[in-house]
């Protein structure tokens, strides 16, 4: 019964409860925490006296990072970029292959950021450092959604030594270190949609 002066439900209009909306969102959106990377860049080999636009030694060829003037044939003034640190929340790295952030340039497999890693026989995918810090890595586990026709390898010493791992199986490194890379080599056609690495378990 609706009292005089009150609006009924049809007049007000129903909206879903906030909790219902929240449940719908949590069921359809998956947030994956990524690694935190620290990069150091040198200032480059450019001499500038006085103003920001005059008295430049060499030929001005462009700018870098916040309009820093650079000179030289390569347009970067000899700047050097190095990764000094990569850390993961709870010692867990996950790659859904929807970016190429950690793809090493030597990779021969198809890793284009479309959500899949595809390989044919003889091709390989190599990562850049997915962990780099001061804590020694003793063990790890690598898990992929489909390990058909692939060999899984991890390095704990920055790529000097790669060791073969069985999918989803904890293994202690023979060559311990402070920098992890992964490598997947195909022995036939293979498709991988997600990869997880956990370390120091």
Whether residue 54 has pLDDT greater than 60: no
Res 85: pLDDT: 87
Question: Hey, how many other C-beta atoms are within 10 angstroms of the C-beta on 24?
Answer: 11
User: So what's the pLDDT on residue 135?
Assistant: 95
pTM: predicted TM-score of the whole model, two decimal places: 0.68
Spatial distance between the Cα atoms of 133 and 117, rounded to a whole number of angstroms: 27
User: CA triplet 188, 107, 180: central angle to 5 degrees?
Assistant: 105
**What mean pLDDT is reported for the chain?**
78
Instruction: Look at residue 74 and tell me if it is in a domain.
Output: yes
Res 41: pLDDT? 62
| 117-119 and 190-192 beta bridge pairing | antiparallel
Task: Kindly report the CATH number assigned to the domain that includes residue 180.
Answer: 2.60.120
In 3-state terms, what secondary structure has residue 163?
Answer: strand
Which tens digit of pLDDT belongs to each residue from 59-76? 445 555 555 555 544 545
Q: Are residues 188 and 93 in the same domain?
A: yes
pLDDT band at 42 (very low <50, low <70, confident <90, very high): low
CB burial of residue 22 (10 Å; 0-12, 13-18, 19+): exposed
Q: What residue numbers bound the domain in which 137 lies?
A: 86-201
Give Cα 60 to chain centroid, integer Å.
Answer: 34
Q: Identify the residue with better confidence: 28 or 93.
A: 93
Q: Which residue has the higher pLDDT, 38 or 43?
A: 38
Quick one: 113 and 176 in the same domain? yes
pLDDT band at residue 43 using 50, 70 and 90 as cut-offs: low
CA quadruple 164, 170, 171, 177: dihedral, nearest 10: 100
Q: How many domains does the chain have?
A: 2
Between CA 165 and CA 9 the distance in angstroms is: 62
In a domain, 53, yes or no: yes
Rounded to 10 degrees, what is the CA torsion of 58, 62, 68, 74?
Answer: -70
Strands 131-144 and 171-186: antiparallel
Contacts of 78 (CB under 8 A, 6+ apart): 42, 44, 45, 72
Residue 81 inside a domain? The answer is: yes
Is it the case that residue 161 has pLDDT exceeding 50? yes
The reported pLDDT for the residue numbered 51 is 47
Identify which has the larger pLDDT, 37 or 201. 201
Three-state SS at 111 = coil
User: Considering the domain boundaries, does residue 129 fall inside one?
Assistant: yes
At 84 the pLDDT is: 77
pLDDT at res. 44:
56
């Amino acid at each position: 019964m609706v009292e005089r002066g009150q609006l009924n439900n049809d007049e007000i209009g129903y909206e879903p409860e906030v909790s219902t909306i929240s449940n719908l969102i949590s069921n359809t959106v998956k947030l994956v925490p990524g690694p935190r990377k620290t990069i150091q860049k040198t200032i480059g080999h450019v001499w500038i006296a006085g103003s920001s636009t005059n008295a430049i030694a060499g030929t001005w060829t462009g700018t870098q990072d916040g309009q820093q003037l650079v000179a030289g044939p390569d347009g970067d003034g000899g700047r050097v970029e190095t990764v000094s640190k990569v850390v993961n929340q709870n010692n867990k790295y996950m790659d859904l292959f929807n970016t190429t952030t950690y793809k090493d340039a030597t990779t021969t497999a198809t890793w284009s950021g479309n959500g899949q890693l595809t390989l044919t026989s003889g091709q390989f995918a190599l990562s850049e450092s997915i962990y780099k810090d001061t804590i020694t890595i003793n063990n790890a586990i690598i898990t992929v959604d489909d390990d058909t026709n692939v060999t899984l390898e991890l390095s704990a010493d920055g790529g000097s030594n790669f060791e073969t791992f069985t999918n989803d199986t904890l293994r202690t490194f023979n060559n311990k270190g402070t920098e992890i890379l992964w490598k997947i080599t195909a022995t036939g056609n293979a498709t991988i949609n997600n990869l997880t690495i956990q370390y120091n378990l």
